């Protein structure tokens, strides 16, 4: 797929930034679980944290296709930071689409510049795939809403400056859900326990606890009852970004394997010369290329203003399943050393798994695709 000169330059910029800013710190920080705000700030200075946000709100004013180019590059070094950029992008896309002028002016520019970090808080302990069953409540009192409840699995919830929190303002079901902008430091709003995960340990995942949190009515996004639609719209777009990140991770795994298989000799020849290895690499390459095309197709449809829900779900499903396979095989190509922490492929495999779960589990993607085919 041919890129314009401008797109190629953006890709190059993201690749360079990734190598300089992220690659040197990622191994150790992953092991120790350290998230660095300054990484996001540095990426922000280069214009990489608000790619699809309009220029009037300090974004780059580019499309989702450009966004996928940058995320792919970042994910070659760190899925955690690619996810961080993508998650900071969710409040931006939500406010760009549904926010008031005042909300956009106040909250979007610092996010787009990478000075602020964003979060998207939908899931709860009993409400995962079935997001519309969430129980966190928002009750209107005068010019405020009072929020109470506990959210789960919020990426970077503990460091975010601006969180979009979904809470129930009405009856049970999807139509009773509303979206609120909640600022860090609002009394009663705090991060709960941090999850201890198998991978992407740079990216903190936490509970968010809301105890009588007073949010001004002006921080309601759109109208009461629009929350579920807002969440689903954001997730449609978010799936493209997770797909792009999966492509980056898969590419890193494939490149590492090729380099290793060329250098490793057994039975007096490089193992890349054995068909058993070559065919594995060929399958990895093919599924990676197909994934990238699906991701870019979904991004292009979105940029053209055409429906893209089904395509985004298919891209996320295919790219993350492919990357799980690619990274599992990458450990296999490296053999014993691939299983040790001295090589990055075991980390790639651990990181791949989360992408089949976030932004809608892959079961949910199948459901989205299946429903769109049956209606």
Closest CA to 245 of 14, 6, 52, 4: 14
Please select the residue that binds other proteins; options are 126, 140, 262, 371, rule is CB under 8 A: 126
Report the SS3 class of residue 203: coil
Rule CB under 8 A: which of 96-125 touch other proteins?
Answer: 123
Q: Does 195 bind other proteins (CB under 8 A)?
A: yes
Beta pairing class for 162-168 and 118-121: parallel
Q: Is 359 a catalytic residue?
A: yes
Rule CB under 8 A: which of 128-187 touch other proteins?
Answer: 128-130, 133, 152-153
The stretch among 220-228, 260-268, 284-292, 307-315 that binds other proteins (CB under 8 A) is 260-268
Q: Does 278 bind other proteins (CB under 8 A)?
A: no
Assess contact for 204 and 221: CB atoms under 8 A: no
The stretch among 1-9, 32-40, 90-98, 361-369 that binds other proteins (CB under 8 A) is 361-369
Name residues whose C-beta falls within 8 Å of residue 92's C-beta, 6 or more positions apart in sequence: 50, 52, 53, 57, 59, 108, 111, 112, 118
Site string for other proteins, 301-340 (x = CB under 8 A): -----------------------x---x--xx--xx-xxx
CA 226 to mean position of chain CA atoms: 23
Smallest gap from Cβ 190 to other proteins, in A, equals 20
Q: Does 197 bind other proteins (CB under 8 A)?
A: yes
Rule CB under 8 A: which of 218-247 touch other proteins?
Answer: none
Neighbours of 74 (CB within 10 A): 28
Choose between 189 and 348: whose C-beta lies nearer to other proteins: 348
Q: What phi, psi does 119 have (nearest 5°)? A: -145, 160
Structure tokens at 83: 């996810």
Query: Pseudo-torsion of CA 276, 278, 280, 286, nearest 10°?
Result: -150
List contacts with other proteins (CB under 8 A): 123, 126-130, 133, 152-153, 195-199, 265-267, 274, 276-277, 324, 328, 331-332, 335-336, 338-342, 346, 349-350, 353-354, 356-357, 361-363, 366-367
List, by residue number, the catalytic residues.
Answer: 359
């Amino acid at each position: 797929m041919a890129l314009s000169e401008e797109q190629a330059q953006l890709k190059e910029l993201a690749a360079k930034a990734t190598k300089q800013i992220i690659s040197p710190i990622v191994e150790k920080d992953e092991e120790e679980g350290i998230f660095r705000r300054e990484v996001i700030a540095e990426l922000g200075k280069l214009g990489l944290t608000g790619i699809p946000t309009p220029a009037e709100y300090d974004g780059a004013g580019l499309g989702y296709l450009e966004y996928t180019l940058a995320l792919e590059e970042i994910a070659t070094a760190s899925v955690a930071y690619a996810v961080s950029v993508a998650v900071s992008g969710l409040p931006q896309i939500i406010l760009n689409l549904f926010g008031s002028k005042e909300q956009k002016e106040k909250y979007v520019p610092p996010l787009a510049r990478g000075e602020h970090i964003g979060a998207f808080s939908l899931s709860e302990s009993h409400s995962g795939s079935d997001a519309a069953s969430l129980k966190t409540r928002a009750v209107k009192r005068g010019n405020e809403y009072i929020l109470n409840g506990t959210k789960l699995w919020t990426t970077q919830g503990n460091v975010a400056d601006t969180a979009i929190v979904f809470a129930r303002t009405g009856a049970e079901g999807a139509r009773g859900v509303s979206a609120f902008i909640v600022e860090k430091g609002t009394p009663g709003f705090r991060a709960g326990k941090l999850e201890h995960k198998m991978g992407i340990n740079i990216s903190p995942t936490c509970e968010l606890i809301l105890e009588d949190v007073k949010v001004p009515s002006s921080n309601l996004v759109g109208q009461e009852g629009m929350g579920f639609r807002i969440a689903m719209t954001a997730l449609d777009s978010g799936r493209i970004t997770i797909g792009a990140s999966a492509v980056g991770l898969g590419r890193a795994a494939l490149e590492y394997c090729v380099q290793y298989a060329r250098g490793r000799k057994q039975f007096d020849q490089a193992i890349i010369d054995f068909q058993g290895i070559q065919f594995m690499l060929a399958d990895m390459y093919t599924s990676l290329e197909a994934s990238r095309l699906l991701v870019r197709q979904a991004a292009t449809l979105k940029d053209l203003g055409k429906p893209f829900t089904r395509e985004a779900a298919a891209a996320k499903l295919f790219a993350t399943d492919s990357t799980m396979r690619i990274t599992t095989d990458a450990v296999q190509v490296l053999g014993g050393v691939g299983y040790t922490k001295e090589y990055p492929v075991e980390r790639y495999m651990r990181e791949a798994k989360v992408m089949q779960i976030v932004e809608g589990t892959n079961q949910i993607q199948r459901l989205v695709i299946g429903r769109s085919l049956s209606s």
